[in-house]
């Protein structure tokens, strides 16, 4: 899974949250999702602060 940008799983919501800070090609994320997490929904977050706060909340 080295190709994936920073991410975390929200298992209860069946979501994978990615931190995509700039112009990362979103179709590429869709391809990666189909390969690694086919049953999960994708959430893209551009703000690092929001991403890391959400990630800490997901670990609790």
Using one digit for the tens of pLDDT, what is the confidence trace for 1-58? 566 788 999 999 999 999 988 766 677 778 888 888 899 999 989 999 999 999 998 7
DSSP letters, 7-47, are: EEEETTTTEEEEE--S---HHHHHHHHHHH-TTSEEEEE--
Instruction: Identify the pLDDT of residue 30.
Output: 80
Read off the tokens for 35: 């390969």
Tell me the β-bridge partners of 41.
15
Nearest alpha carbon to residue 42 among 58, 31, 53, 55: 31
Query: What is the pTM assigned to this prediction?
Result: 0.78
Question: Which pLDDT belongs to residue 38?
Answer: 92
Distance CA 11, CA 32 (A): 18
What's the pLDDT at 1?
56
């Amino acid at each position: 899974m080295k190709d994936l940008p920073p991410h975390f799983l929200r298992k209860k919501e069946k979501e994978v949250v990615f931190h995509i800070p700039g112009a990362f090609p979103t179709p590429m994320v869709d391809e990666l999702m189909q390969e690694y997490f086919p049953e999960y929904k994708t959430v893209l977050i551009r703000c690092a602060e929001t991403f890391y706060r959400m990630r800490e909340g997901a670990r609790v």
